[in-house]
Structure 1
Amino acid sequence: MRIPAVAGTFYPSDPTVLRSQISQCFREGPGEPCGCSGRRAVSAVLSPHAGYLCSGTCAAYSFRSIAEDGLPEAYIVIGPDHYGVPYESVMCGEEYVTPFGRCEVHEDIAMRLRELIPDDVRAHTREHSVEVEVPFIQYIDPKAKIVPIIMGRQSMRSAERLAQSVKAACSGHDVVIIASSDLVHYVPKPYADEMDSMFMDAVASGDVSSVYRLVEKERLSVCGYGPIAVAMMLSGGRIEVLDRTDSFESIGYDRNSVVGYGSAVMYKS
């Protein structure tokens, strides 16, 4: 099993405190999920992956959209690599452990996917971009099953290859993609406001090429544009921005060096 790397730092290690903090993220943001439509129109969401005090309220918008739309069979959680894994993309076929307990891997999807991309739990050992999403998943869906994936390279071609692999592995299954990403990093707030707004507009346009053009032209430090691109490629429908904020707005720390956060929901075509 994959044990937590950032429990006690990015989020509480005590399950009671953790549940209380996630509930507070919902209450201070979109509100707790209210009912379930059962429509299953949501194909993917963008959710940030910083510490919950910084980005948890923003993340709550994405998870409320899933809970109210209808819980899927599995969650494909795709995060960027922050530590230099030696893979273009790599899955983890072992269950993730959080303070809420074990979050099982969807075995059929994982079995198919490991024929298309490497499966190496060691590559996931330190990485927080997937881990931080899992307690939120367990909060809205205590019986959730996941397939965790880290992108070591985020070029458009890498995103296309991973999207093709995920599509093939998930054929016949009802899934939601969770694209884990923060927005620009450690920049003055006015610059973050401008660039994050432009980036989220590009995401909302549904045009993957425009996302890559913006990232390259402005040299944006958005850490998970690759996972976002994969989610966009696998969705094909309307994309709605739910929330955009930053670390200064959430914790009031250092207006000259903020990290941006955004949440969005992507619908089936």
Structure 2
Amino acid sequence: MSIREPAVAGMFYPAQAEQLQRSIHEMLAEASAGKTESPPPKMIIVPHAGYIYSGPIAASAYQRLKPFADIYQRIILLGPSHRFAFQGLALSASDAFRTPLGVIPIDQKAVELISTCTGVITTDQAHRYEHSLEVQLPFLQLTLNQFTLVPIVVGLASADQVASVINTLWGGAETLFVISSDLSHYHDYMTAKQLDSETTHKILKLDHNLNGEQACGCFPLNGALLCAEQHHLTATSVDLRNSGDTAGSTDAVVGYGAYVLH
């Protein structure tokens, strides 16, 4: 069995399973105060920085999955490429992804189904060091029960290309889409708050014309929002902060938003 091993354990999140579990459970417990009753989300948008920076914001969305832990059986995870430049969407040749909390099997039937979609390639170069997908996995492992994974790193791709892949795997209640994206980067605190508020307004309107200044994961995000529009989903903002609110300086911050779509 070919397994994609963790690349950022010990850097973006704790490498020891017990410490990692404790960290995530604490963030989820803090997020539960804002939890509201709702139907099972079909899609969530979550940030992907180190846990001390964006973990509490991500937890605000993941907390809303816990009541439906038995429903979700297949997770389609899309995030931007930070280290490997390419065009299209990259699948992994691995059979499973590992985190300190265990191994998650890849849904090979789903991978095969989308492998012929326009722009889809298979290359582990895109996955080997990519953190945008990896940091979501421990949250999923501790909020859901058993599930299979379809990990997709998105390079330079059109919203139509991404939406085609999402639509091919749309499925029913058993399928959840997780879109990994931070918001603005390296503005001062007040500028970032204004920019991220404007971007949030666009996300809530399902505007699928975001750029890299607004969201670093704009390519997977635009495709997801186009799909959400096609399927008449409704987006809700559940948290919006930045690194100046969590663990960083206010001089140059990174924005983080969490959203659920039903």
Report if TM-score (shorter chain) is over 0.5. Answer: yes
- Where do residues 53-64 of structure 1 align in structure 2 (5 Å cutoff)? 53-64=52-63
The DSSP-based 3-state class of the residue aligned with 2:20 is helix
Contact 2:62 2:143 in 1 (8 A): yes
Give the match for residue 187 of structure 1.
Answer: 187
Counterpart-to-counterpart distance in 1, 2:108 and 2:34: 30
Mark the CA change 1:49 to 1:15 in structure 2 (over 3 Å): closer, same or farther. Answer: same
Deviation per residue, 1:173-222 (Å, 9 max, x gap) = 8311111011111110010000000000110112324xx3xx3xxx7252
1:6 correspondence with 2:8: yes
Q: Report the CA distance between 1:240 and its aligned residue.
A: 0.3
Contact 1:79 1:224 in 2 (8 A): yes
Mark the CA change 1:32 to 1:72 in structure 2 (over 3 Å): closer, same or farther. Answer: farther
Give the match for residue 91 of structure 1.
Answer: 91
Counterpart-to-counterpart distance in 2, 1:83 and 1:163: 23
Counterpart-to-counterpart distance in 2, 1:31 and 1:23: 13
- Where do residues 39-54 of structure 1 align in structure 2 (5 Å cutoff)? 39-40=39-40, 42-54=41-53
Give the match for residue 261 of structure 2.
Answer: 266
The DSSP-based 3-state class of the residue aligned with 2:234 is strand
What is the identity, as a one-letter code, of the residue corresponding to 1:3?
E
Mark the CA change 1:174 to 1:195 in structure 2 (over 3 Å): closer, same or farther. Answer: same
1:177 correspondence with 2:173: no
The DSSP-based 3-state class of the residue aligned with 1:207 is coil
Contact 1:45 1:231 in 2 (8 A): no
Q: Which has the higher mean CA deviation after the structures are superposed, 23-32 or 81-90? A: 23-32
Gaps of 5+ in 2: none
Counterpart-to-counterpart distance in 1, 2:116 and 2:28: 38
Deviation per residue, 1:89-118 (Å, 9 max, x gap) = 111242111001111111221121222211
Gaps of 5+ in 1: none
1:162 correspondence with 2:199: no
Contact 2:196 2:214 in 1 (8 A): no
Give the match for residue 244 of structure 1.
Answer: 240
Aligned counterpart in structure 2 of residue 21 of structure 1, from 23, 29, 37: 23
What is the identity, as a one-letter code, of the residue corresponding to 2:189?
K
Give the match for residue 114 of structure 1.
Answer: 115
Counterpart-to-counterpart distance in 2, 1:234 and 1:17: 37
Contact 2:207 2:222 in 1 (8 A): no
Give the match for residue 106 of structure 2.
Answer: 105
Over aligned residue pairs, what C-alpha RMSD do you find? Answer: 2.1
Contact 2:166 2:224 in 1 (8 A): no
Contact 2:72 2:175 in 1 (8 A): yes
The DSSP-based 3-state class of the residue aligned with 2:42 is strand
Counterpart-to-counterpart distance in 1, 2:196 and 2:260: 16
Contact 2:199 2:214 in 1 (8 A): no
Counterpart-to-counterpart distance in 2, 1:191 and 1:172: 40
The DSSP-based 3-state class of the residue aligned with 2:122 is coil
How many residues get paired?
A: 253
Percent identical among aligned pairs is: 27
Q: Report the CA distance between 1:50 and its aligned residue.
A: 0.5
Q: Report the CA distance between 1:233 and its aligned residue.
A: 2.2
Q: Report the CA distance between 1:170 and its aligned residue.
A: 4.3
The DSSP-based 3-state class of the residue aligned with 2:199 is helix
What is the identity, as a one-letter code, of the residue corresponding to 2:60?
Y
Give the match for residue 130 of structure 1.
Answer: 133
Mark the CA change 1:69 to 1:173 in structure 2 (over 3 Å): closer, same or farther. Answer: closer
What is the identity, as a one-letter code, of the residue corresponding to 1:83?
R
Contact 2:204 2:235 in 1 (8 A): yes
Counterpart-to-counterpart distance in 1, 2:34 and 2:28: 5
Mark the CA change 1:126 to 1:182 in structure 2 (over 3 Å): closer, same or farther. Answer: same
Mark the CA change 1:193 to 1:28 in structure 2 (over 3 Å): closer, same or farther. Answer: same
Contact 1:188 1:257 in 2 (8 A): yes
